[in-house]
């Protein structure tokens, strides 16, 4: 659907105005309805054109100095997936011990969909991409990792609009991820994602629905001009 | 505009299907047309309801273990802004020296809009939020920083849909940011953002338009099952 705010994406400066109300609402809906999916994956494959759009959305992310430090490792081989699932289980058993008062609840949570989802994707950050000095990274070395996370979030929101679920699995020993995906030392595995169609989504974060944690009030998180100085917006 | 895919956001599982084609395209447009704004800010204020929507979009981001480690420090005081602008200039002079072969081009780039934009926002990460052990952060301590970046990217995309420009300024000595914003040691300043209405946007990243860097071909960044093993999508 073309609206009055559509612009020609060729060259020169482009209009900067707002989207139409319905377009704006679509962006907010993707943000609001995005969920971290663990247990609702369907096994049917992702259409290759859809997957390509998701990767393009990630690649359209901002990056410090336009360094584009990301790579996209698609994990399709069942044997590799089984190894990663084993690695998750080992790490997750260690993790459960860290929540002694809530171990039963922790262990009842499903925290990954590595084998059930049709494709896994590791988004990495190459810390040498673009050379020794990167514009904008001169005073904060972590900004390349931050760029990579922007790519992850772009993909996640695009996936919600496509009706595709994404789950971020972060419970791996970093050495296991490196070994199983043959990552060289200068490459950081930022996000390991399970991607697939889903039967349904939680309406609120699953950890809320299951009583693990609660939303914080936004007002408590807003300061003005300095840390801890109450602000309003 | 309500479409056939609208869902009731009250309780229980929600439909997980795709957005309508026009809604989906709006999400992709926000992703594709988002720009890092430095020099096109207009001084007129942001509507408070709009600013609140942007902060809510940030707060709707995913966070490891639902820890929500972010805070939002709005910087409105002109004196504080001037101090931050001075801090930027000091760091940027250091940065320019790191690009000896391209110093003239570097110095000609406008890399911030601290004084011209009507509001600045520092999004921080409280590394103690949620306690000692956080579900999902047990094996990768950086995941709280990653959550905070997801909040930044949500805000950035929502701002594009609102017709509001956002510029991420990363050229500060970290100690200056901490001192000027009174940040305690356990709080990391992840993103310093300039926010305001804009006269126009670049159609491609400004660093491309100005000959600083180029887009990498997406195909070169896709691997399959391991690092450096060519993949397609």
Say how many C-beta atoms besides its own lie within 10 A of residue B86's C-beta. 13
- The 10 Å Cβ neighbour count of residue B178 is 18
Chain A CB contacts of B157 under 8 Å are 27, 31, 154, 157
A146 and A64 Cβ atoms separated by less than 8 Å: yes
SS3 state of residue A11: coil
The whole-number pLDDT of residue A71 equals 98
Closest Cβ opposite residue A72 in set B109, B172, B221: B221
CB–CB contact A14 B33 (8 Å): yes
Q: Would you say residue B1 has pLDDT above 50?
A: no
Average pLDDT over residues B53-82: 98
Tell me the average pLDDT of chain B: 94
| Token pair 């520092």: residue | B122
pLDDT band for A23, please (50, 70, 90 cuts).
very high
The share of chain B scoring above pLDDT 90, in percent, equals 91
B15 pLDDT tier (thresholds 50, 70, 90): confident
The pLDDT of residue B160 is above 60: yes
Nearest-CA distance from A167 to chain B in Å?
A: 10
- pLDDT tens by residue, B92-134: 999 999 999 999 999 999 999 999 999 999 999 999 999 999 9
Give, in order, the Cα–Cα distances in Å from B213 to each of A57, B40, B143. Answer: 19, 20, 29
Output the pLDDT for position B16.
85
Q: Are A170 and B64 a contacting pair at CB < 8 A?
A: yes
Q: Is the pLDDT of residue A11 over 50?
A: no
Q: Assess whether pLDDT exceeds 60 at residue B218.
A: yes
* pTM (two decimals): 0.95
> Distance of alpha carbon B35 from its chain centroid, rounded?
10
Q: Which residue of B has its CA nearest to A146?
A: B149
Specify the pLDDT at position A132: 92
**At residue A3, does pLDDT exceed 50?**
no
Tell me what pLDDT residue B2 has.
36
Chain A residue whose CA is closest to B147 = A149
CATH dotted code for A35-200? 3.40.109.10
* CATH 1.10.730.10 for the B36-200 domain, yes or no: no
More confident residue, B12 or A6: B12
pLDDT-derived band of residue B9, with 50, 70 and 90 as boundaries?
A: very low
Task: Check CB contact under 8 Å for B27 and A32.
Answer: no
Residue from A15, A55, A138 whose CB has the most chain B CBs within 10 Å, to mutate: A138
Output the pLDDT for position B106.
97
- pLDDT band at residue B12 under the 50/70/90 scheme: low
Nearest one of B91, B81, B89 to B114, comparing CA atoms: B81
Q: What residue segments make up the domains of chain B, in order of their start? A: 36-200
Judging by DSSP bridges, how do beta strands B70-75 and A222-224 pair with one another?
Answer: parallel
Q: What is the pLDDT of residues A55-114, one digit of tens each?
A: 999 999 999 999 999 999 999 999 999 999 999 999 999 999 999 999 999 999 999 999
Overall average pLDDT of the A105-131 stretch: 97
Task: Map residue B151 onto helix, strand or coil.
Answer: helix
> Are A99 and B133 a contacting pair at CB < 8 A?
yes
Which of B87, B190, B216, B220 is most worth mutating to test chain A (most A CB atoms within 10 A of its CB)?
B216
pLDDT at position B13 = 67
Confidence of residue A13 (pLDDT cuts 50, 70, 90): low
Contacts of A197 in chain B (CB under 8 A): 16
pLDDT score recorded for residue A2: 36
Query: DSSP letters along A197-229, please?
Result: EBS-B-SS-HHHHTTS--PPPGGGGEEESSTTS
Is the CB of B19 less than 8 angstroms away from the CB of A1? no
CA distances A115 to A52, A79, A118, A200, Å, are 21, 10, 8, 18
> B198, B204 in Cβ contact below 8 A?
no
Q: Take residue A44 and report the two structure tokens written for it.
A: 């049917």
Contacts of A230 in chain B (CB under 8 A): none
Question: Could you read off the pLDDT of B16-32 as tens digits, one per residue?
Answer: 899 999 999 999 999 99
State the pLDDT at residue A196: 98
Q: Determine the Cα–Cα distance for residues B7 and B204; give it in Å rounded to an integer.
A: 35
The answer to whether A149 contacts B150, with C-beta atoms less than 8 Å apart, is yes
A18 vs B161: CB contact, 8 Å cut-off? yes
Chain A: give the shortest CA distance to residue B116, in Å. Answer: 17
Distance linking the first and last C-alpha atoms of chain A? 33
Q: Name the residue with higher pLDDT: A6 or A204.
A: A204
Q: How far is B177 from chain A (nearest CA, A)?
A: 10
């Amino acid at each position: 659907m073309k609206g009055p705010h559509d612009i020609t994406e060729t060259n020169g400066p482009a209009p900067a105005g707002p989207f139409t109300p319905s377009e704006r609402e679509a962006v907010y809906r993707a943000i609001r309805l995005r969920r971290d999916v663990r247990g609702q994956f369907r096994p049917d494959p992702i259409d290759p054109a859809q997957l390509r759009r998701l990767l393009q959305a990630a690649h359209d992310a901002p990056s410090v100095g336009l360094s584009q430090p990301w790579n996209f490792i698609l994990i399709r081989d069942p044997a590799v997936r089984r190894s990663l699932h084993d690695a998750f289980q080992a790490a997750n058993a260690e993790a459960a011990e860290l929540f002694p008062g809530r171990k039963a609840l922790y262990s009842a949570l499903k925290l990954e969909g590595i084998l059930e989802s049709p494709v896994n994707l590791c988004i990495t950050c190459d810390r040498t991409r673009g050379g020794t000095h990167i514009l904008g990274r001169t005073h904060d070395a972590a900004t390349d990792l931050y760029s990579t996370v922007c790519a992850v979030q772009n993909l996640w929101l695009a996936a919600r609009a496509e009706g595709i679920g994404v789950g971020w699995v972060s419970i791996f020993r970093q050495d296991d991820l490196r070994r199983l995906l043959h990552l060289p030392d200068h490459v950081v595995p930022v996000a390991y994602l399970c991607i697939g169609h889903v039967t349904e989504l939680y309406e609120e974060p699953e950890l809320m629905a299951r009583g693990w944690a609660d939303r914080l009030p936004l007002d408590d998180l807003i300061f003005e001009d300095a840390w801890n100085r109450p602000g309003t917006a």
